Amino acid sequence: MPTNLPAKEIQDSAARTRLYFDQYGKSPLQYNAVDYDAAIMFFLDKGFDNSAAEVVATSLLKQAKLENMPITKVLDDITGLEQLEISALVAEVLNNNRPATSTLGYRTPVEDVSKQRNVSA
């Protein structure tokens, strides 16, 4: 079961063997360097910083690869979106690939003043 916690360091002698057999039969996802660079540049142009652009690009590349869709088509589809809309889309993609106990969220401001509560800290 995938988790977002850091990997536990195992101290026994069979750790390497277990790691090998846990990954046996699973092919690693590999991306074309041109697609990877194009995805990172897309997010850098949208105002993301370097590390955020890499994480978001890698997540979208993974999802596109799993759905057998070219990343250029995905990037073309989201070209017209604002940065906030792209962030919401990326949060949705990341949540689909995370365990249910660990989801990402974001705060949306309340626009109706009558719905706000006057709570003092």
DSSP line for 77-111: HTTTS-HHHHHHHHHHHHHHTS-TTS---------
Q: Which domain holds residue 84?
A: 29-96
> Is residue 120 domain-resident?
no
> Is residue 117 domain-resident?
no
Instruction: Convert the pLDDT of each residue in 32-91 to its tens digit.
Output: 899 999 999 998 998 888 988 888 888 889 888 888 899 999 899 888 888 778 878 878
> Is residue 19 domain-resident?
no
Whole-model pTM: value is 0.60
The percentage of residues in the chain with a pLDDT greater than 70, rounded to a whole number, is 75
Q: Return d(Cα 33, Cα 14) in angstroms, integer.
A: 35
Close Cβ partners of 54 (under 8 Å, ≥ 6 residues apart): 40
Q: What is the mean pLDDT of residues 16-25?
A: 74
57-88 in b/e form (b: 16+ CB < 10 A) is bebbbebbeeeeeebeebbeeeeeeeeeebbe
Q: Three-class SS of residue 59?
A: helix
User: How many domains, in total, are found in the chain?
Assistant: 1
Q: Return d(Cα 2, Cα 108) in angstroms, integer.
A: 29
